[in-house]
A and B are shown apart, each in its own frame.
Chain A
Amino acid sequence: MGEREEANGPWGDGFNETLFSDFTGFAGGVWDTENNGDHFGAREYHKIHGSWLSPDPAGLAAVDMTNPQTWNRYAYVMNNPVSFVDPLGLYLMDCAWYCVMGGANVVDGQLQTVYSSSGLGSQAATQCPNNDCSVFTRTYSGNSGGNFSLLAGVNGLTWINNNNGDELTSSAASEVGLGDPQSGLPSNLFPGTPQEYWGPFLQGFNAALKDLKRKKCARFYGGQGSARMSATMYRIFDLGNSGVGARTEDPTSVFINSNGPYMNYSPTVGQAGPFGLYWTQPQFQAFILLHELGHQLSPITGFQPDASPPGGPANPLNRAQSMKVIGACF
């Protein structure tokens, strides 16, 4: 029997920082590291272990341990050292989460599908195909011959290279052919758009569509706002000026700055944000997209190009047009 670590995680429910060593807290399960040393690269595991035992405070704030969707969101949204590529689709994320939180027994080094009869455990049966909770015990082979395992920590799931214990970045996972990196790509983004942008994009995009359901906001765009946004292709990349949020190329093409306020803005509690308003991050992202929508539908909104060249004075037209959007939609 391998070394057994007690699960005394900060949540008091048996969940600790690292799934591997701390499965003992679940339904009496035992993790046998000797039997599975090779399978999981246990020797390298401690190297990983060290990095996972100090969870990122921001990560903890971002993840609601009672809600698997926040795991998904975190993994997709946050640009952090934890990377996630899901070769089997999003269900794996949910399945893995319920396996962890629902409780699973480990016998002879294999996770067994022994769930509690109620609560999260009962949901594991519906989330995991065939009650299969072995997502963490499988080895996945990349097209280039490497073998990889899925690990779970408080910050989400990540892929580990079995040969050296290194975490795989999503781009590296793509290179070795592990999964389809474009699976789940939002239809308004171009293939090849890095996965780290999908979540922030959808967050703002969906918030904007929600805003457009309000009558006043819909009227401002002549009732064409939702349809136009749905028909727009958004390109997310570095626009070369961190002050630029986005720019409208043509009525159905908008560039979003990967190094600008759309991606970087985060509200400060008790402190007003841009235009003196208390934005949430999704609201501010939605505002940027709706400002661009004003340009896209300029025959209706009367918007004119309102750029402020780098180093130059702020364009008063930008502010005036922004206030129109705010007045109509926020």
Chain B
Amino acid sequence: MSFFAKCGCVFALVLLSILASVASELRGVVTDSEGGVIPGALVIVHWDRSGTRVGLKSNVGIKQDLILETNVKGEFESELPQGFYDVFVAATGFTPDCRKVRIRRGETATYTPRLKADPLVGNELGDTFPQ
């Protein structure tokens, strides 16, 4: 391998490592109000394009909404470009939850919603018993 080829390989490795180090990520755990994890919860990630038309460079975002599902541990995660996002979480029988999340370059943003039992569903399914 020539000297220039070796240098090229080293450069590529350094570039890859730099790119890897600046990966941005969103992750979280969805639980009920007591802390029990909720597998199979729907997580929708929608980009908020604020500032992009007036020169804000740090809001890269995604063009299409990202749809995730929590795993058996109630966890979700995805690499995302830096930016503002609206994250919406829904699960069967729970009141949905959402939040604006800021993901900075190279950082991991976390969102760990604790969902409450939804009263509307409870009004039609909740079994009351005399005590």
Q: Which chain A residues lie closer than 8 Å to B119 at the CB level?
A: 240-241, 310
With A264-B131, A274-B130, A318-B128 in contact, do A238 and B34 touch (Cβ < 8 Å)?
yes
How distant is A137 from chain B, measured CB to nearest CB, in Å? 33
- In the bound complex, how far is the Cα of B123 from the Cα of A193, in angstroms? 24
Q: Verify B128–A245 contact, CB threshold 8 A.
A: yes
Question: Which residue of chain B has the shortest Cβ distance to A287 in the bound complex?
Answer: B129
In the complex, which residues 149-208 of chain A have their Cβ closer than 8 Å to any Cβ of chain B?
Answer: 189-194, 197
Task: Please tell me which stretch of B35-43, B47-55, B80-88 contacts chain A, meaning at least 4 of its Cβ atoms lie within 8 angstroms of it.
Answer: B35-43
In the complex, which residues 65-111 of chain B have their Cβ closer than 8 Å to any Cβ of chain A?
Answer: 73-74, 92-93
Q: Which chain A residues lie closer than 8 Å to B127 at the CB level?
A: 244-248, 288, 291-292, 295, 306-307, 318
Question: For A192, A253, A257, which residue has the most chain B Cβ atoms within 10 angstroms?
Answer: A192
B5 interface residue (CB < 8 Å to A): no
Which of B33, B121, B129 contacts A245, CB < 8 Å?
B129
How distant is A166 from chain B, measured CB to nearest CB, in Å? 22
- In the bound complex, how far is the Cα of B34 from the Cα of A257, in angstroms? 11
In the complex, which residues 14-44 of chain B have their Cβ closer than 8 Å to any Cβ of chain A?
Answer: 31-39
Q: Which chain B residues lie closer than 8 Å to A246 at the CB level?
A: 126-127
Q: Verify B35–A194 contact, CB threshold 8 A.
A: yes
With A274-B129, A274-B130 in contact, do A307 and B124 touch (Cβ < 8 Å)?
yes
A93 interface residue (CB < 8 Å to B): no
How distant is B125 from chain A, measured CB to nearest CB, in Å? 4
Q: Verify A190–B117 contact, CB threshold 8 A.
A: no
A223 interface residue (CB < 8 Å to B): no
- In the bound complex, how far is the Cα of B33 from the Cα of A190, in angstroms? 13
- In the bound complex, how far is the Cα of B129 from the Cα of A243, in angstroms? 6
In the complex, which residues 269-293 of chain A have their Cβ closer than 8 Å to any Cβ of chain B?
Answer: 274-275, 288, 291-292
Q: Verify A239–B126 contact, CB threshold 8 A.
A: yes
- In the bound complex, how far is the Cα of B114 from the Cα of A137, in angstroms? 39
With A244-B128, A255-B93 in contact, do A239 and B117 touch (Cβ < 8 Å)?
yes
Q: Verify A307–B125 contact, CB threshold 8 A.
A: yes
Which of A192, A236, A258, A274 contacts B131, CB < 8 Å?
A274
Q: Which chain B residues lie closer than 8 Å to A250 at the CB level?
A: 92
- In the bound complex, how far is the Cα of B121 from the Cα of A244, in angstroms? 12
Which of A192, A310, A322 contacts B129, CB < 8 Å?
A322
A45 interface residue (CB < 8 Å to B): no
A316 interface residue (CB < 8 Å to B): no
Q: Verify A192–B117 contact, CB threshold 8 A.
A: no
- In the bound complex, how far is the Cα of B121 from the Cα of A305, in angstroms? 11
With A190-B38, A250-B92 in contact, do A241 and B130 touch (Cβ < 8 Å)?
no
Q: Verify A275–B130 contact, CB threshold 8 A.
A: yes
Can you list 8 A-B contacts with CB-CB less than 8 angstroms, sorted by A residue number?
A: A192-B31, A194-B35, A238-B33, A238-B116, A240-B116, A274-B130, A288-B129, A307-B128
Closest 4 CB pairs of A and B: A190-B36, A244-B126, A237-B34, A192-B35
Having A240-B117, A249-B121, A255-B117, one finds 16 other A-B pairs with CB under 8 Å, namely: A191-B36, A192-B36, A192-B37, A193-B36, A237-B32, A237-B33, A237-B117, A238-B33, A244-B122, A247-B125, A247-B126, A261-B129, A265-B131, A295-B127, A310-B119, A322-B129
